[in-house]
Amino acid sequence: MQVVEGKRWKMDDKEKQFSQMMASIAEIGIEQILPHEVCEVICVKCGKRWISVHPERTLLKELECPNCGQGYVIKTGQLLFEDEVEDDC
Residues near Zn ion (CB under 5 A)? 43, 45-46, 48, 65, 67-68
| 4-27 as b/e: b if 16+ CB within 10 A | eeeeeeeeeeeeeeeeeeeeeeee
Q: How far is the CB of 51 from Zn ion (least distance, A)?
A: 15
Q: How far is the CB of 32 from Zn ion (least distance, A)?
A: 27
Between residues 29 and 66, which has the closer beta carbon with respect to Zn ion? 66
CA distance 8 to 35: 34
Between residues 44 and 53, which has the closer beta carbon with respect to Zn ion? 44
Q: How far is the CB of 85 from Zn ion (least distance, A)?
A: 28
